């Protein structure tokens, strides 16, 4: 029986709400597993509503986007260069005359260099930092990890479970404990499907990790940032396996390229000029 029909037939409906990390998912998973009560997840339906090119997405774009942009003199697009490179092919092409592109920035003072040496060839480790909103595409990361059981993947930043990915929890990046953990990893990986340009990539560059990210995470054409496909799982796996055999001298070169890039481009002086 359809879950919506089941809900209609029930005499009582229970609403469950709460703040971030308050235990909503834990409770609903328990109810679903042990009580066989249908669950209608508002987060799920809201994500479905705003997926690109859906009816809801187009209505929201028209109502909130086009009407607002029409009344603006300039629109500051704080987003990655890969999105700007594809602006003419996107639903936002009509905004181009008003757009001022701004890349993000970090202050390296708050993200000191900590990655002095890399793990040996074949023993390289991957770290994901972030949350699990739909555009972070963590289900694809789970698929990658499932097909590469001999490679170490970990996640910093959440309390949920991601399949086969070591959960490290939440940390204050300024703490020594966080720095000690981060420097054990070699690559920051993020496989977003519609991510503007996550600052974690720049933070990882400052620490000395090598970013591995999808084009849909906003960054492309940077020598020290390694792009990974999210269109074909086979290509993504090939990228991960290739990175396992990259000589350390090349990783060090990518490190230097990234630090130069932060100093010369991804800085607040350029951002605010």
Each of the 273 residues of the chain gets a pLDDT tens digit; together they read 454 555 555 557 788 887 644 667 778 878 877 878 888 887 777 767 767 778 887 787 787 778 888 889 999 999 999 999 999 988 788 889 999 999 999 999 999 999 999 999 999 999 999 999 989 999 999 999 999 999 999 999 987 889 999 999 999 999 999 999 999 999 999 999 999 999 999 999 999 999 999 999 999 999 999 999 999 999 999 999 999 999 999 999 999 999 999 999 999 999 998
Quote the radius of gyration of the chain (alpha carbons, Å): 21
**Contact in structure between 210 and 188 (CB atoms under 8 Å):** yes
CA 3 to chain centre: 31
Cβ atoms of 100 and 75 closer than 8 Å: yes
The burial of 183, by beta-carbon neighbours within 10 Å (0-12 exposed, 13-18 middle, 19 or more buried), is given as: middle
- Of the candidates 105, 83, 3, the one whose C-alpha atom is nearest the C-alpha of residue 45 is 3
CA nearest neighbour of 103 among 216, 227, 199: 199
This prediction has a pTM of: 0.79
């Amino acid at each position: 029986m359809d879950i919506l029909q089941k809900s209609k037939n029930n005499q009582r409906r229970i609403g469950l709400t709460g703040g971030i990390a308050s235990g909503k998912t834990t409770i609903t998973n328990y109810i679903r597993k042990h009580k066989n009560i249908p669950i209608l997840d508002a987060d799920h339906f809201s994500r479905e509503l705003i997926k690109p090119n859906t009816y809801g997405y187009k209505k929201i774009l028209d109502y909130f986007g086009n009407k607002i942009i029409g009344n603006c003199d300039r629109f500051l697009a704080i987003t990655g260069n890969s999105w700007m490179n594809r602006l003419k092919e996107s639903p936002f092409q009509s905004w181009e005359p008003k757009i001022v592109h701004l890349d993000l920035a970090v202050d390296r003072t708050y993200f000191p260099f900590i990655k002095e040496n890399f793990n040996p060839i074949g023993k390289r480790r991957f770290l994901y930092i972030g949350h699990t909103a739909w555009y972070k595409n963590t289900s694809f990361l789970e698929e990658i990890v499932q097909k590469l059981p001999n490679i170490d993947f970990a996640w910093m930043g959440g309390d949920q479970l991601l399949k086969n990915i070591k959960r490290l929890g939440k940390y204050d990046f300024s703490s020594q404990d966080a720095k000690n953990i981060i420097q054990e990893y070699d690559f920051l990986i993020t496989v977003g499907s519609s991510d503007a340009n996550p600052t974690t990539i720049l933070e990882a560059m400052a620490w000395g990790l090598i970013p591995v990210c999808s084009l849909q995470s906003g960054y492309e054409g940077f020598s020290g940032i390694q792009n990974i496909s999210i269109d074909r799982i086979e290509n993504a796996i090939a990228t991960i396996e290739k990175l396992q055999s990259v000589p350390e001298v090349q990783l060090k070169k990518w490190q230097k390229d990234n630090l130069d890039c932060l100093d010369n481009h991804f800085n607040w002086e350029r951002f605010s000029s």
